[in-house]
Structure 1
Amino acid sequence: MPSGRVRWFDANKGYGFITDDGGRDVFLPAAALPEGTNALRKGAKVEFSVVDGRKGPQAMGVTVVASAPSLVKATRPKPDDMAAIVEDLIKLLDAAGNDLRRHHYPSQSESRKLAVLLRAVADNFDVEE
């Protein structure tokens, strides 16, 4: 049974590609995924059968051998560091809330900084599954 790694897969489009161990690209339709699986992460190691499709080789009967490691999980801060970041963010949000209670939005530069910080903290909490 051939094996390879997922080059990319888009669940919304319903397809992607596998690069087999020989370097050949193989079309990966969503229908070939294991039951209960509707997406694969880039780099996941898979085994599959190959059939000749209309536009070239197509994977069928895909089995996930090893999932690709999550870069988000590997690079996010330690919980103790994240706790300090969240506490500082709460202080900034509290100050912004006080301004809003006085019927004033924070200045444009403060608003931008707060938005950037909120997105960065959210990215550290968002875990790829």
Structure 2
Amino acid sequence: MNRGTVKFFNESKGYGFIKDDASGKEYFVHVTGLVDRVRENEEVTFDIEDGKKGQNAVNVRRA
């Protein structure tokens, strides 16, 4: 389980990006990968899964 911060999330379009605290990498997150509703600058935990265009954050929960 990774920890990070929601850098950007557009609720109307259903996607955003999460910045990993440990690596500094940014991961794409789609609304289907959310467990809890998230907002920008919120601390979250997440798993990483390979998607069509790279790695995605999934099982995203508020920390």
TM above 0.5, yes or no, is yes
Query: CA RMSD, aligned part only?
Result: 1.1
Q: For 2:28, what is the secondary structure of its paired residue?
A: strand
CA deviation vs aligned residue, 1:14-64 (integer Å, no higher than 9, x gap): 1000000111010110011115x3xx2211010001001111110111110
TM-score by length of 1: 0.46
Structure 1's consecutive aligned runs of 4 or more residues displaced over 4 angstroms after TM superposition are: none
CA deviation vs aligned residue, 1:66-121 (integer Å, no higher than 9, x gap): xxxxxxxxxxxxxxxxxxxxxxxxxxxxxxxxxxxxxxxxxxxxxxxxxxxxxxxx
Matched, 1:6 2:9: no
Q: Take 1:52 and 1:34, find their aligned partners in 2: how far apart are those partners?
A: 18
Matched, 1:23 2:21: no
Gaps of 5+ in 2: none
Q: What are the residue-to-residue correspondences of 1:56-71 with 2, within 5 Å? A: 56-65=54-63
TM-score by length of 2: 0.89
Q: What is the count of residue pairs matched by the alignment?
A: 62
Structure with more contact order per residue of length (Cα contacts < 8 Å, sep ≥ 6)? 2
Gaps of 5+ in 1: 66-129
Map of 2:45 onto structure 1: 47
Q: What are the residue-to-residue correspondences of 1:99-110 with 2, within 5 Å? A: none
Q: Take 2:53 and 2:29, find their aligned partners in 1: how far apart are those partners?
A: 12
Larger Rg: 1
Q: For 1:12, what is the secondary structure of its paired residue?
A: coil
